Amino acid sequence: MIKENPLISFLKKFDTYPFLVKLEGKEHKIGDGEPKFVIDVHRMIPIKDLLKSTSLALGEAYMDKDLEVEGDLYQALDCLLEQFNKFSTNNSLLRDIVFTSSSKKNQLEEVQSHYDIGNDFYALWLDKTLSYSCGYFKHEDDSLYQAQVNKVDYILEKLYLKEGMSLLDIGCGWGYLLIEAAKKYKVKGTGITLSKEQYHIFQKRILEEGLEDSLHVELMDYRDLPKMGEKFDRVVSIGMVEHVGRDNYKLFMDSVYRVLEKSGLFLLHFISGRKEHHGDPWIKKYIFPGGTIPSLREILYHAGALNFNTLDVENLRLHYNKTLLCWRENYYKHLDIINRQFDERFVRMWDLYLSSCAASFHNGINDLHQILMTKGINNHLPLVRWY
């Protein structure tokens, strides 16, 4: 009796959608029906690696061209990630990747390793606002740019800004939200970031817009906010809490609480998971070192413990799926430039990152939540969300 190849035996559990595996000159069909995609394996992937971390083993095999996908990568990943509960992860064998230090020094290095790849790189596939977070597609045919404008407008409306208010943006990116807030609502804005590249671009934008009297940006860790001695009427943080680490969620929320005026509003926009988990090993090794996605309930727990009053919770999960597919389309449009700037392994890594994240939001592995809360009670806001 011929023993079945162990890799084929392992892959057979992902049989919800049929696919074809080409291995050592043979074709192996998995699942019933017409194959939706083809995996071409050029080099065997050790089973011990797949059991240690399925995502890390498959991800590295794709990056190294040991594995190719015939057909659309996103569609293949969409089929596989619907079965994400079948992936193996042994955190005890992945401690150096999964459990990293949450010290200021280490988190600074982790953040800069991702966001300081180069402004020119991000400008190729983001829209002209340089927004690197989930857009808001009010209409089916909204462009990526329009979706990012919508998102910022939507957040600023939720914050119920009035002229002369002060607004803090924690993890301000390249500054578009604060620039719009200053121009449309005439507020005073402060942005903090750990990315030197983002800091320099935001400073340049402030000067170009003539907003030196309204806005300023600091290279600062959120833990140092209380030392500033300032209080803000409003605080916003978009896509930043994912970098602070599970041990520091309480510290992050406390830092916001201490710099927010009584009855002030705080809007937190973040990727969330249905359950608490340590993060995907491939993502943590190659894309977001130290990144941990909080669950909605643990953020709400820490908010309630600090006397934040939650007003509104909204899930924009499918908006992020669409945003990522737009980024991926732009990435493909500029592959000729990207191939000249980076090696093939990097190019394949970012393709896999954008495609897999889009699939993870489509399958509900990740959500995108916006929480609006007040410091204590505020009885002077409109009664409905759509103010």
Active site residue 357: yes
What's the order of all strands across the beta sheet hosting 215-219? 215-219, 188-193, 166-170, 232-238, 260-273, 366-375, 308-315
DSSP result, 191-205: EEES-HHHHHHHHHH
How many CA atoms lie within 13 Å of 200's alpha carbon, on the beta-carbon side?
7
CB atoms within 10 A of CB 114: 16
**Contact status, residue 237 vs residue 349, Cβ threshold 8 Å:** no
Partnered with residue 68 across adjacent β-strands are 40
Tokens found for residue 84? 């994400």
Q: Please pick, among 79, 172, 326, 357, the residue that the annotation labels catalytic.
A: 357
Q: Which of 309, 294, 306 is nearest to 264 (CA)?
A: 309
- CA-CA distance, 172 to 217, in Å (whole number)? 8
Task: Region of 186 please: left (phi>0), alpha (psi -120 to 50) or beta.
Answer: left
- CA-CA distance, 349 to 103, in Å (whole number)? 27
Which residues carry out catalysis? 357
